[in-house]
Amino acid sequence: MTVAVLYVLLASSTVLVPVSAFLLAWQRVKPWLDEMRDWLTQHNAAIMSVLLLVIGMMMAGKGLIALAYTASAP
């Protein structure tokens, strides 16, 4: 149970931290969030390319492992 709670907290922290920081101190956090949005917008193509490349390599690896496993089965 505690591992699941820890996982949920860790996974949701990427959303909870910026949102709670904005709600608690929006005047100090807004410039930083604007910079992050601009950076993400500017580098969107590179970020998506790397993300899709990693996902594609993972899928290809899983497919090759499954192919090798079924090819060696009697």
What is the DSSP track for 3-64? HHHHHHHHHHHHHHHHHHHHHH-HHHHHHHHHHHHHHHHHTHHHHHHHHHHHHHHHHHHHHH
Q: Find out whether 33 and 18 touch, Cβ atoms under 8 Å.
A: yes
The 10s digit of each residue's pLDDT in 44-61 is 999 999 999 999 999 999
Q: Is the pLDDT of residue 64 over 90?
A: yes
Q: In angstroms, rounded to a whole number, what is the distance separating the alpha carbons of residues 65 and 62?
A: 5
pTM for this predicted structure: 0.63
The 10s digit of each residue's pLDDT in 19-51 is 998 899 989 999 998 999 999 999 999 999 999
